[in-house]
Structures are given as C-alpha cells and as structure tokens.
Amino acid sequence: MKKKNIVLIASAAAVILLSLALFFLVIRPIDERGLAYTVNDDGVTCTITGLGDCKLSKIKIPEYMDGYRVTEIGKDAFREYAKLKEITIPDSVTVMKANVFYQCGSLKKVTLSENLTTLGSAVFYGCTQLDEITLPETLKTLGVVVFRECTSLTQIVLPQGLVSMDQGTFYHCKSLKTMVLPENITTIPDYTFYGCSSLETVRFSDEVTKIGRDAFYGCSSMKKFEIPEGVTEIEPFLFAHCTALESVTMHDGITKIGERAFSACSSLESIKIPEKVTTIGYYAFAECKKLKKIELPDAVVSMDTNVFYDCTALSEVKLSASLTELPQSTFWKCTSLKEISIPVSVTKLASVLFKESGVETILYEGTVEQWNSIEKNKNWSVEMGDFQIVCSDGEAKP
C-alpha cells in the first residue's frame, strides 16, 4: 500500500511539473509575444519596456500586446542586445524613448513606424552595423546623439517636417558622405557632424542662424564651405581638423571667430576675415600649414594666444590698426614669416611672440620713442634669430 502511494505521489508530481512546463511555454513564449510591456495610464495602450522572454534576432513588434495597443518603445528597451539583427516597429508607435537600441552592435535593418514623431536620445547609439535607415515623414524631433557611432551609416534622408535636432546627431558617423538638412532646421547644434570623416557636402537652408561648436570637427573629406548670412559667430572648433578644407566663405555679418575654429585645417591656403570681426579666439588658425596670407580688418580689437601657431607657410600678415596687444605665441613656428609690420596702436607685447619663427625685420609704424614705451614681456623675443626693428624715424634696439 505504501509503495502504491509513493507511485501515485510521483505520478502526480510529474503531472504538475509537466503542467507547469506547458504553462510557461504557453504563457511566456520566446517570440515577440514574450516582450515585456507596461500598460499606459489611459488603460488601453502600452509601452514595450524590454525583451522579456523574447530571444529572437529578428523581431517584428506586434501592434497589440494582449489587447493593448503598442504606442511607445520605452527607455533602454533593447539596450545592448547583441543578438538583435532586424526589427520592425509597428505603425501604432509614435514615440521611441532614449537608448532603445543603444550598443546593439549587430543591428543592421530597422523598419520604423510610419507615424513616429519622436526619436529620443541615443536611440541608435553604437549600432555599428546599421548602414541605412528610412525616417518617416511624420518625424519632428531628434534627441541627443541619436545616431552617434553608427560607423557604417552611409546615407540617411531627414524628413522635411523635422523641426528639432539636438547635439551630436551624427557624431562619428564615419561613413556618412552627404547630408541635406530640412528647411525648418535653423540651428545646426553642437557636435552634429563631429568626426564624420567621409562627409563631403552638407546642404541647408539659407535661414540657418547658428552653427554650433565642433559641428564639423574632423570632417576630413570636406573641401569647401559657405557660411550662411544669418550666422554672426564662428563657434569654437567649428572646422578644426578639417584637413581637406580648401575654401571657406564668410559673409560680412560675422563678428567673432572662436577658439580653434580653423585649427589644423592643413589644406587651407587663404581666407578672408570679414570686416566686422572684432575678436579672434586662441589657436584659431593654428597649424594651418598651407596658409600663406592673412589680413586682419581694423575692427579686430583683440586676439587670444597662439592664433597663428605653427602656420609654417605664412609669409604675409597685415595686423589690425585697432590692436593694443600682441598676445603670447601669436606667431610661434611661423617659419616663412620674414617681415611683419606692427601698428602704432599696439602698447603691449606678450611672451614668445615670434619663437622659432623666421622673422628678421619688424617694421614699427611709430617712432623709436613710441617703440621704447611699449610694455614688453621680458621673453617677448625669446628664441628668435637675428632681427632688426625699423621705426618711422630710425632703428630701435631689439
């Protein structure tokens, strides 16, 4: 009798275990039905929040989950899911929150909702296999670094209805070659095309009024650029390390050139500084090794340090008649510069002005007495070769 009871108990346990296994197989499937979701406040729609028990590499998110209509893809929903290769977002979805596909390094094909209005921050950050994507015409907003490090992305068409882009949209998209910005985009945010080393052309509206700092940093395939007339400042690092840049057109409304704006533009041979520019930031033209000539308009009242550092081809310089100081290391390593004229407005010479330069003659527009009254740093002429100072009424002592 005891043995029979044991057999019955074992059989019952086996049935229970089998039932549980079948229950979880039915209730918790490994396909799209196993995706995790939360019901939204309206009680009729839901947000996909994660993989749940879905183990697929190709996912087609259903329009409904257990009767709830899918309208959002939540933050971090598929974050770092290395297995994901393809995904389709249903047309019921209008919003994709931050980091949805963050670092999904195998993701290659994405079909977005035709009713999508918002792509949150870093949605496709680090999707290194994604080479193209079609954005719906309904899209209005792109968050911060949406496509950052999408290093295989070669082309993308931004919809004309897009009204807002945030910083670093295409940061380090190294395969991107061309871009057309919609008419409604009047600001190109900071870091938008930072490190897009294959980018050759960008077209945008004449209504653009601001191009943010570092926007084209390291765009080493871009050869020419025309600043739109609504822009009044060249932001810091704007074209830094654009090593193929040969021509930049700046209109007369520009009043400021920021620090390192053109630094290491090693193919830039000439550039016209607009007449209304008043200030030039540090290292603005540093390491422009082919730059031969520069004229600073008389509106320029101040320059920061190292503006022309290591401009080894620079041989002609006209300084502004409004400058009162030549800052530290202004012409350091300008080895082709043999002669320079200093306006009488200058009352202060900072340190190592012409260090390792080729300057042999300084032409001072004032008298010897005025030259002697200039406040000079004790190291202003350090590491210069033999040179002479020619004033309007004779030579001054170095």
Q: Going residue by residue through the chain (398 aa), what tens digit of pLDDT does each one get?
A: 444 454 445 455 554 544 544 434 344 456 788 999 999 999 999 999 999 999 999 999 999 999 999 999 999 999 999 999 999 999 999 999 999 999 999 999 999 999 999 999 999 999 999 999 999 999 999 999 999 999 999 989 999 999 999 999 999 999 999 999 999 999 999 999 999 999 999 999 999 999 999 999 999 999 999 999 999 999 999 999 999 999 999 999 999 999 999 999 999 999 999 999 999 999 999 999 999 999 999 999 999 999 999 999 999 999 999 999 999 999 999 999 999 999 999 999 999 999 999 999 999 999 999 999 999 999 999 999 999 999 999 999 98
pLDDT of residue 33: 87
Please name which of 240, 191, 197, 200 lies closest in space to residue 220, comparing C-alpha atoms. 197
Beta bridge partners of 352: none
pLDDT of residue 11: 55
In a domain, 100, yes or no: no
In a domain, 223, yes or no: no
Q: Report the SS3 class of residue 20.
A: helix
Please name which of 298, 255, 248, 283 lies closest in space to residue 269, comparing C-alpha atoms. 248
Which residue matches tokens 């977005």?
Answer: 112
In a domain, 277, yes or no: no
In a domain, 7, yes or no: yes
Contact between 78 and 54 (Cβ < 8 Å)? no
Q: How far apart are CA 267 and CA 241, in angstroms?
A: 10
Beta bridge partners of 389: 362, 396
In a domain, 19, yes or no: yes
Which residue matches tokens 């043999």?
Answer: 338
Contact between 214 and 190 (Cβ < 8 Å)? yes
Burial 210-225 (b: 16+ CB within 10 A, else e): bbbbbbbbbbbebeeb
Into how many domains does the chain fold? 1
In a domain, 261, yes or no: no
Rg of the chain in Å (alpha carbons): 31
Q: How far apart are CA 372 and CA 107, in angstroms?
A: 69
Query: Helix, strand, coil % (nearest 5) of the chain?
Result: 10, 25, 70
Terminal Cα-to-Cα distance of the chain (whole angstroms)? 119
In a domain, 94, yes or no: no
Please name which of 154, 149, 159 lies closest in space to residue 122, comparing C-alpha atoms. 149
Q: How far apart are CA 261 and CA 239, in angstroms?
A: 6
Torsions phi, psi of 34, nearest 5?
-90, 0
Give the distance from CA 146 to its chain's centroid.
Answer: 12
Domain of 2, in residue numbers: 1-30
Q: What is the pTM of this model?
A: 0.90
Q: How far apart are CA 129 and CA 105, in angstroms?
A: 6
Q: How many CB atoms are located within 10 Å of the residue 370 CB?
A: 17
CA 220, 231, 219 angle in degrees (round to 5)? Answer: 5
DSSP strand E in 255-368: where? 256-257, 279-280, 293-295, 302-303, 316-318, 325-326, 339-342, 348-349, 361-364
In a domain, 23, yes or no: yes
Contact between 288 and 309 (Cβ < 8 Å)? no
Give the distance from CA 74 to its chain's centroid.
Answer: 26
DSSP strand E in 10-73: where? 36-39, 45-50, 58-60, 64-65, 68-73
Q: How far apart are CA 310 and CA 331, in angstroms?
A: 7
pLDDT of residue 29: 58
Contacts of 363 (CB under 8 A, 6+ apart): 339, 340, 341, 342, 390
